[in-house]
Amino acid sequence: MSPELEAIAYRATEDVQARFTALAHHLTTGFLEETWHTLNQHGAPGLSGETMAAYARVREQRIPALVATLKAGAYRVPPIRRVYIPKPGQPQKQRPLGIPEVEDRLLQAAVHRLLQPIYEATFLNTSYGFRSGRSPHGALEALATTVTTCPIEWVFEADIRGFFDHLQHDWLMQMLGERIGDPGVLRVIAKWLHAPIVEPDGRRSRPTEGAPQGGPLSPLLGNIYLHYALDLWFAMVVQPACRGEARIIRFADDFVVLFARKDDADRFATDLPTRLRKFGLELAAEKTRLIPFGRIASRVASQHNQPSERFDFLGFTHFGARSRTGRWTLQRRPTPKSRHKFLVHVKSELHRLMHAGVKAQQLYLRQALQGYYGYFGYPGCWRALQGVRWHVGFLWYHALRRRSQRSSQSKQWYFRQPWFSLPNAQLRPPST
């Protein structure tokens, strides 16, 4: 972390009420040069078609000009290119992304670097998404620890419908104003929120709500919004009114709430829609529910010869089970949706690599599987991971067969070849 960012982080930590009124002067040529090296150099081009490589060749002239424009208060946000990608496990539905121009992406990343240390000192420990030193695995460990060490008997799983599409600009700017008082920084963020969107068919629109996903600043803006709309409300209003244990675990806009008592859970389930509606958000009713979950719930289900309830969070299906010693524990498995998403991506990449050598294909598949094992390799998931490995091998076999319609080699022949080998499932090392 650079000295100026360390100073910002120190002040934000020492005084949680501090309001930062002088930040824009940190957006110097040197600071933007540092930021450039943190960007994904293979990012997609914006509407103009300018690539990262093309900008890199002229950035020594462009960055100083950008800094001068910012100082003069004359920066204009270029239009954002809208693209649509299929939703994981729902190919019939599409998720909108906004692809900014390279220079705009650079400036967003620089502002993100300035704001992140301020909000790292502001956010609560219940928030895990898109934060320095935090990850989905941290949220999963917090969930497991809470369920197994606290008297949790009810789980409220929720889904906010189209979260990034419905952020209210006035509310977001008011929230930012709690800690950011620099008019230059607030002005450029407001410009990003109102930047024109160009659809694939050429239609243009200027949004009145929402923050396009795809820019470096969007995840932080989403976290800020839910910090004030949800996290603080839960910590300051919901928890003090509960008669039993109540915990929330949030990763971006994906969250679960754990309760010891049903009356506390029922009250939260009643109050949450009203709270979210105040900020222009609503729950997806088909993905939101309150379920009994825990030791007592598992015992009751067993007595009635019924399966215990399960819930999905961060790509895993969570359920209770008895260990070999008879102790109730939390178990996880990759959801069918997460497995399907991975296999669809592998199939697409194999199609792209169809005419590459088998060694190149094997290298990609080994790396993809190692990444999948790294995320999903929790105890109890080995069999599911081996199933994914088998499906990957099957997809590879079919991709190789399609290279030549006259190939007479059997599936068994391919699976016996030394170059066809793929890594077996691996489990993550236990957390310390």
One DSSP character per residue, 377-412 reads: --TT-HHHHHHHHHHHHHHHHHHHHHH-TT----HH
pLDDT(328) > 90? no
Percentage of the chain exceeding pLDDT 70: 97
Per-residue confidence band for 432, with pLDDT thresholds at 50, 70 and 90: very low
pLDDT(188) > 80? yes
pLDDT(182) > 50? yes
Q: Collect all residues with Cβ–Cβ distance below 8 Å to 4 and sequence separation of at least 6.
A: 26, 31
pLDDT(324) > 80? no
The larger pLDDT score, comparing residue 372 to residue 87, is at 372
- Return the pLDDT at 65: 97
Q: How far, in Å, are 110, 182, 396 from residue 106 at the CA level?
A: 6, 20, 38
8 A C-beta contact, residue 337 and residue 89? yes
- Return the pLDDT at 390: 95
Per-residue confidence band for 89, with pLDDT thresholds at 50, 70 and 90: low
Question: Edge-to-edge strands of the sheet including 328-334?
Answer: 311-313, 316-322, 328-334
pLDDT(406) > 80? no
CA 174 centroid distance within chain: 24
pLDDT(47) > 80? yes
Q: pTM of the full predicted structure?
A: 0.93
What are the tokens at 401?
């067969």
Alpha-carbon dihedral of residues 73, 78, 82, 83, nearest 10 degrees?
A: -110
Q: Residue 97's CB: how many other CB atoms inside 10 A?
A: 18
pLDDT(277) > 70? yes
- Return the pLDDT at 61: 96
**Residues in a beta bridge with 249:** 256
Strands (E), 311-401: 311-313, 316-322, 328-334
3-state secondary structure of 170: helix
